[in-house]
Amino acid sequence: MSEGSRPTRARRLRLLFAVACLSTLTAAQAVPTFRSTDLGALSSIVDESLAWAINDAGQVAGESYTPAGDRRAVRWGPQGLPTDLGDLSGGFDSSLAQGINDLGDVVGAGTTSAGWSAFLWREGSGMQDLGALVGAAGFSAAFGINNIGQVVGSRGIAGTTHAFLWDPAGGVLDLGDLPGGADFSAAYAVNEAGRVVGQAASGDGFRAFIWDETDGMRSMGTLAGGGASAAYAINDLGQAVGDVQFGFGVRAFLWEDGVGMTDLGDLGGPAAGLTRATGINNHGQVVGTSGSSPFLWDATTGMIRLDTLIDPLDPLFGLSLDDAVAINDLGQIIVRGPSPTSNILSHAYLLTPVDIAGVDVPEPIVVMLLVPGLWAAVSRRGRAWRRSRPGDRGDADPPGSAGTRQPSP
């Protein structure tokens, strides 16, 4: 190549700058930034709330406390307005909500004169006791519901605890347990195909299970070197997440049919050995907690601390968050964070990606608005370099040239 046909130093700087901008834009689009909604509490006297489930409309199910201190099942709207779902008759004024479908139907458990009993709550008809319908002898609890109204949970029967699937049309089905087990199982989630996940006793100890109408209950096994396992959520693709016990710690996993369990890793630090995954959406995004920090995981970016993804203008920015519990198909996540009025109590928060939160200037556009200033800086750098080194011999880039900005770990 002749001297005149070689790329000039300025051209090379501009090329590097363009690559850096494209990389930055790609990272900004791949890793979301979140704005928060404080879901509040039923009372400022006991200013605490916990959330356990979210649907694709942004409605959230969980629990809070009345002014009298009674624990109550709550459904929040997308804007954070709580509704007290009440309780079952004959009990101790206590209830908690643990599952919600896209219709806004809520399931959970409430107290009766006989103890805890599963319930189904629907708009307009209120709270229905499912205890007798699922054939419970003593206690029962519902953990999940899908859009056709199938409810899963656990019930006491004849001295055992068994997972159940209740269908409004077909009644209750006892899911049993795994071979060699000691009559224990609990179902925690059900997808739109009626596939159920949870935990059951087996001849090898407690194991995560998946159940469907064709194959019945199957063990998901465990990670290499691990012990007891449990699955807490399943998406419509049949991917499930949960945790595996290792001594006094736990490791988060993703399970896929035909693949088995994949260890999702951890965020590092002294408490990294306590990592569990509790939610997954239909895009394969996983949420959970590693040590004391909530995380977001997907197959492209791996595991990222959620509190590093909070928008700098958000009230939660810079604060410590706990326990990411569930994620919907819009990428909205429910987490636990600080109560505005107490250093001891906590509130449930809804995290919404900025691209659907109504933010005027999404992050990629902010980056583009910065391009003219960055471009001027790079151009000045190029001019200064040319003044200090006459001519362009095409050798190594000068120190301090533009690089690719990586997302925070």
Contact 13, 312 (CB under 8 A): no
Question: What pairing do the DSSP bridges indicate for beta strands 302-305 and 293-298?
Answer: antiparallel
The pLDDT of residue 358 is 59
Structure tokens that stand for 316 in this block: 């939660």
CB within 8 Å of 399: residues ≥ 6 apart: none
Instruction: List helix spans (H) across 3-118.
Output: 9-30
State the average pLDDT for the chain.
83
Quick one: which of 39, 24, 30 has its CA closest to 333?
39
Determine the Cα–Cα distance for residues 140 and 19; give it in Å rounded to an integer: 58
Residue 81's pLDDT is what? Answer: 87
Q: Residue 286 and residue 280: Cα distance in Å, rounded?
A: 4
Identity (one letter) of the amino acid at 97?
A: A
Give the DSSP H/E element, type plus range, for residue 36.
strand 34-38
385 membership: H or E segment, kind and range: helix 363-388
Separation CA 231–CA 271 (nearest Å): 21
Q: How many residues does the chain have?
A: 409
Residues of the chain with pLDDT under 70: 1-30, 357-409
Write down the pLDDT at residue 30.
63
Query: What SS3 state is found at 22?
Result: helix
The DSSP symbol for 408 reads: P
Q: Which two tokens mark 9? A: 């130093």
CB 170 within 8 A of CB 202: no
How far is the C-alpha of 255 from the C-alpha of 153, rounded, in Å?
Answer: 20
Pairing between β-strand 249-256 and β-strand 260-263 as defined by DSSP bridges: antiparallel
pLDDT of residue 407: 26
Q: pLDDT by residue (tens digit) across 162-190? A: 999 999 998 999 999 999 988 899 999 99
Angle (deg, nearest 10), helices 9-30 and 363-388: 160
- The predicted structure's pLDDT at residue 357: 66
Continuous H helices in 157-225: none
pLDDT, position 135: 84
Q: In DSSP terms, which residues pair with 172 in a beta bridge?
A: 166
CB atoms within 10 A of CB 287: 27
Sequence-ordered list of residues with C-beta below 8 angstroms from that of 208, at least 6 positions apart, any chain: 197, 198, 199, 219, 220, 221, 222, 229, 230, 231, 240, 242, 255
d(C-alpha 405, C-alpha 399), whole Å? 16
Provide the residue type at 12 as one letter: R
| Structural Rg of the chain based on CA atoms | 26
Contacts 24+ apart (CB under 8 A), 67-75: 67/42, 67/43, 68/93, 69/45, 70/94, 71/95, 71/96, 72/42, 72/96, 73/97, 73/106, 73/108, 73/110, 73/119, 73/121, 73/127, 74/42, 74/49, 75/100, 75/104, 75/106, 75/121
Domain annotation for the chain: domains and CATH numbers = 7-34+363-409 (no CATH), 35-362 (2.130.10.150)
Could you give the C-alpha distances from 265 to 17, 82, 268, 274, 304, in angstroms and in order?
Answer: 33, 35, 9, 11, 11
What's the confidence (pLDDT) of residue 287? 98
* 36: β partners: 351
